[in-house]
Every structure is written in structure tokens, then in C-alpha cells.
Structure 1
């Protein structure tokens, strides 16, 4: 181990780091299906009456300062119009110019409000089940878990994931935990050219004042704690899910139309390529599973075909390479998200692990 590696390991060993709980939250949704609390094809409006209430926005009329909408008649479910696979009609408002205008027309800012209903009750952008846009489906799925279980998402994850795995260094609300509140890492930022040195981001709040558990935005955890979880997922740990649910978690979920929409979406702008493309070459076709994005082809010296990966706003990434039998997570805590230099570091990390396995 180099001196740099030793220093980095020491710096993060005891830190609690904000990151995405997408994989854990979607796993819990499948656990609720196992327990018969909900089905993958049930209309979630029963639990979430505000979801999709504004209909489908076809455009934004700047003359009247109003959204142009049509009614949505397609039920939103966990699978068919996938809350868990970003084909449910939503997109995060901070990613979409028309939604940003819609927010402004109401005197609001993107992702405003403490609850999921306030943050994500937005006009849909397409008929559910017909396209792909990256949005708050997993946040809504977390709310479904709370409705059917009668517990907070934090409590459900503790009972179903963290306690069985012996994990304690994780929470949606670290400020409420005396054992970890003083260990929360600061977020740093690069300059406008994406260059260092990194400086403190000045109190950047990835949760934007949320009081709800955000199943898509995520929880705070130590790198060691999240890696323990990731290893259990790689091994298909029977304490977490049964074999059928593990199969469902990793199965490609997009039909050909939605798969094409996903790949076009990732190429639609430099922002989408950088933030959501995970630094993977554009010629590698992507699919989506309940666990995360699937790289359908491998990349020499980096990963095998069907590797599952995803990341989060603080520039963290994780991956599961089932053929090689390895997984990894890199917590960076740097914004703006997924700058090219940070993505290159993540790629080098994957290549170094791959090289060790090959040797």
C-alpha cells in the first residue's frame, strides 16, 4: 500500500458519508413483495394519492406561465410503470428545464419541501411505461414501503438489512445519532473547470432539508458499512432475500422501446453523459435492473459484461461484477457530480481491482 493509499484509508476509515440508498431501498421493496404486503403490479395510487395528480406535461406555455398538461390514465406500479426502473413518467425537476419553469411559476425551487410529497409531486413527462427518465421513483417506492409496513424506511432497513448484517454506521438522519453525528464528512467542490484543489462546499445539503427518508437520494454510511452490504448483495445473501427475489432484483427490466430511450437519454447532453453515464463508453449498451444500471457488454481490463453499477451526487460509485466475483464502492464526496476527473479516478480504481483479480 502506498503512502497516499494509507493516508486516504485513514482519512475515511471513521467517516460517515452521504450517498445513495437506491440498491438497499429497492431490495426492501422486493422484501415487501415477498411478505405479501404489496405486489409488483399493484397501482401505487392506493398508497400515494398525490403521485401523478398533475397529469402529463406536454409543454410549458411561457406566455401564460403555465404547464400544458393532459390526463394520465396509466396506473403507476412498482414494475409495469416502474417506480423501481425510472419508467414511471417522472424526472427530477432539477434535470428538466420545463419542470424548473413549472416550479418557478409556483414560486418554488427544485426539490423544495421537507416531505417526498412536497419534493416530488410533479407533472409527469410521458405516459408511464413508455420511456426512461431519471427521477424520484425510488423515493416514492420508499414511501410505499412505509405505507405498507407502518414503519419508517429507516426502521425497515434497520430490521431487514442492517441488523442481520451487523451494520450500525448507517442512518438517514445522522444528526439524530449521537454515535455518528460528529463524524459526518464535509462535501468538497472543484472549480468551474473541474480542477482542484478541492475546497469546502459550504454546507451543501444533499437532502435539501428533508424530514422524510429519501429512498432514492439515500442514507449516510461509513464506506466499510456500505461495503459489507454490497458484499452481501454480491453473494445473494439469503438473510436479505430469497432466490426468486434476487433473480428479480438483477433481471433486466426495460423492454426494447424503453431500453432505447435509456441509451438515447444518456447521450442527450454532456450533463446526462457525465452525471448518469457512469463514465462508461457510449458504445456499451445499457439496461436497467431494480438494482441499478447494467452494462450489457464488458470493457477490457475494467469489468465483465452484465456488471451492475450506479452512483450518487457526491460523486460516489459502486459496482457488482458477478462474473469476476468482485464488488467495490468508492466514496469521493466531491461536487459538481461526476466530473470527468473524478470519473477517471473511479475507472482507475475498477481497473486496479480487476487487475488484482486477474492476477
Structure 2
């Protein structure tokens, strides 16, 4: 494990490193550790406390995997089906419409100016659509049409407001006809709240974190007696490449349990989640539910729209680095990926120029978190891992590079064990 230690130590060195802190946890198909380590500091200040595997960190969209597991649990219990219409369960979604554009004008309220063009839904919004980003929801802070709608409607909340109301606005396409990254998983969490009578935080504590023996994960760290100083600080990468103290876009004191991006967790806790999944699902899911969660789910048109999103060079859309062998982010080198119920599914092995597998294998599912966190679940190789840091902006080139180095070093260990 010395190579993995060396990589983390090099990138977090207080004088020459480019990350203030980073943790990496990898587990095998028996749920046993392949590696578990943290290096660097909790804050940018070189004199601050050391980062540990139990340092609480905002995990952003790594929350989505936990929500997907929760969804499969309530489906297993017979409380709902993946293809049931959630509008019959969630009153706020009953009359939601699709916005296709604006009439002529600037979009400001008042006589003679443009108004949003809205149409009724032509079918249901299903639970499956919510967890595959095919529901029609899109994050408002990144969508010009929704930003225009918010200005026109006088909305004072958005995706970072910490409330479910901030995730409520028109859809941007008919459910099931396209793909867009947005707050669908927040609404999946709301479905679970209504079905179970628990807040989503209470549901996860009882059905995920307590069974795993993972005590430090919550939507509400302040209710656990933590302050902002207890949370891993956000580092802001400057144009010159240096790191300065930054600020998290997420509210520390959110009102609602938002399953798309709201969790605070630790590398240790998240590693326990991945250990359960890579070893077959227990005690969280049956093997059949795990299979369902990881298989491709959507049609060709939706997958094509998803691939356009992740291969865009826009800084808010460039998710594709997760699925290329090239750490320099050459756009033409992305492999084909498919949307599943918890992330994206690789269509092929990641190989070197000799065709030898050097990273994740075909069928691996994975996703990331806004401040450059990462998780993947490779059931073929029997390995799962997560990388924890807190760097903005997203898709930080240095964070991409360290993730690639860690993954290649990990797979040298995995492949050597396989040969042995």
C-alpha cells in the first residue's frame, strides 16, 4: 500500500502539494479493506488539524448513490414500484408542467412582455425516471431557461437554498424523452418520506447508516453538535493553480433532507457503504436489487443526451473525465457509458495501449461529487473505492490527476492479487 500512501502524501504536502487534504478508501468483494488512508489537513491553513478518515465532509452528488439504495429498499418492501407515478404520492408534483420556451419579450412580468410557454405532461413521472435523470427536472442554477423562468416568476429559492421548494420548477422536457442532470433525486427522497412517514434523514439513519455501523453521516451536521469549523474546508483553486480558502455553495443549515446533494459524510462511513455493495448488497439490498440498480436503464435517445452532457467542454457539464484513460481530459477519448439507477455504467474495460485492463472494468458504475469527490463500484474486479477532498471549482484538473494515479495504483494491487 506504500504507493497509494506516497501519492496522497505527495499531493497534500504542506509546502509542495496542490491539495490541502485527501482521503482514499478501497474495499474488495469480501468487504475487506484494500486501502484506507487520509493525508493532509482539514483546512487550508498549514497549521490546522490533520485530515482523518472520520473528518466530516460535504459529499454533494455522492448523496445520490445513497438515495438510489434507499429507493431500491422501498421497492423491495413493496411500498412502490419503479414505474409507479410519483405525482399520485407527492402533492407538489401533481400539477407540474413542462416549459418549452418563452413568448416574445424579455421574460419580465408585466403587460406585453414574454411569458413562459407551458404544456401539460403527456404521461407519468415515474420513480425510475427520477433516479435516472429522465424525469424532465434540471438544476435551475445551470439552466438559462430556468434562470429566466425564476426571474419572471420572482422565485427567491434555487438548487442551493437547502429546501425542497428550491427544487420545484417546471420540467424542461416530457418525462422519459430525454436526460438532464437535476434535482430528481431530491424528489425521490420526498417520495420515501411520504411513504414511510419519516424524514429522509431519519429513514437513512434507520435503514442505511445504523445497519452499516456508520455513525457520522447526516443531512444536518449542526444537529449533531458540529460547527462549520468541524467540517472539511473548501479550497478554491485560483487561475494560477494555487489553493486559497473558499466557500461551499451548500448551506450548512439546510431545512430539508435533500437526497441529491445534501449529505455530510466521512471517508470511513462511505467506505462501509461501498463495502456492502461490492460484497453483494447485504445488509442493505438483495442481490437482485443490486443487479437492478447497476444495469443500464434508459433508451438510446436519453443515453445520447446524457453523453452530450458529460462530454461537453462547459465547466459545469464536464463529467466525462470519469470515463477516459486520459488524465489530460482529451474529449474524443471518452468511452460509451449508460445510465443506471445509481450512476453511469462503463461499456468497456479501461485499458492501456496494449489492451490490458489498468483501471475499472466493463460494467463498473460510478459518479462524483461537486467538490471533486469520486466513487466507483467495479463488481467484475471485486473492488470499490471513494476519493474524498473538498476543492472548487468542479472538475479540477489536479484532482482528476490524483484520482487517476490512485486508481491505477489500486488496480496494480487488484490485478496482481488476481494473478496470484
TM-score (norm 2): 0.79
Aligned to 2:279: 235
Aligned to 2:289: 245
Secondary structure, aligned partner of 1:271? coil
CA contact (8 A) 2:316 2:394 kept: no
Bigger Rg, structure 1 or 2:
2
- Please tell me whether residue 206 in structure 1 is matched to residue 246 in structure 2: no
Match 1:350 to one of 390, 404, 407: 407
CA contact (8 A) 2:281 2:287 kept: no
Aligned to 1:283: 334
Greater shift, 336-345 or 17-26, is seen at: 336-345
- Please tell me whether residue 15 in structure 1 is matched to residue 68 in structure 2: no
CA distance in 1, matches of 2:223, 2:373: 24
Q: Deviations over 1:178-224 (max 9, x none)?
A: 36875311111111x3x53211114x242475310010113111111
CA contact (8 A) 2:364 2:378 kept: yes
Structure-2 change in CA distance of 1:103 and 1:209 (3 Å): farther
- Please tell me whether residue 196 in structure 1 is matched to residue 241 in structure 2: yes
Structure-2 change in CA distance of 1:3 and 1:291 (3 Å): closer
CA distance in 2, matches of 1:278, 1:74: 35
Equivalences for residues 129-168 of structure 1 within 5 A: 129-168=176-215
CA distance in 2, matches of 1:42, 1:212: 24
Q: Deviations over 1:66-95 (max 9, x none)?
A: 32222212110112xx00100001111112
CA contact (8 A) 2:367 2:376 kept: yes
Match 1:29 to one of 51, 68, 71: 71
Number of equivalent positions: 352
CA contact (8 A) 1:286 1:294 kept: yes
- Please tell me whether residue 299 in structure 1 is matched to residue 365 in structure 2: no
CA distance in 2, matches of 1:304, 1:146: 36
Deviation at 1:152, TM superposition (A): 1.0
- Please tell me whether residue 258 in structure 1 is matched to residue 302 in structure 2: yes
Secondary structure, aligned partner of 2:92? coil
Deviation at 1:279, TM superposition (A): 3.6
CA contact (8 A) 2:98 2:119 kept: yes
Deviation at 1:109, TM superposition (A): 5.4
CA distance in 1, matches of 2:162, 2:207: 25
CA distance in 2, matches of 1:225, 1:114: 23
CA distance in 2, matches of 1:182, 1:339: 24
CA distance in 2, matches of 1:271, 1:320: 25
Equivalences for residues 33-182 of structure 1 within 5 A: 33-51=75-93, 53-61=95-103, 62-63=105-106, 64-79=113-128, 82-107=129-154, 108=156, 110-111=158-159, 113-116=161-164, 118-178=165-225
CA distance in 1, matches of 2:321, 2:283: 30
Deviation at 1:65, TM superposition (A): 4.4
Structure-2 change in CA distance of 1:34 and 1:135 (3 Å): same
Aligned to 2:372: 315
Structure 2's unaligned 5+ residue stretches are 13-20, 22-37, 40-49, 107-112, 325-332, 352-357
CA distance in 2, matches of 1:326, 1:247: 16
Structure-2 change in CA distance of 1:140 and 1:15 (3 Å): same
Structure 1's unaligned 5+ residue stretches are none
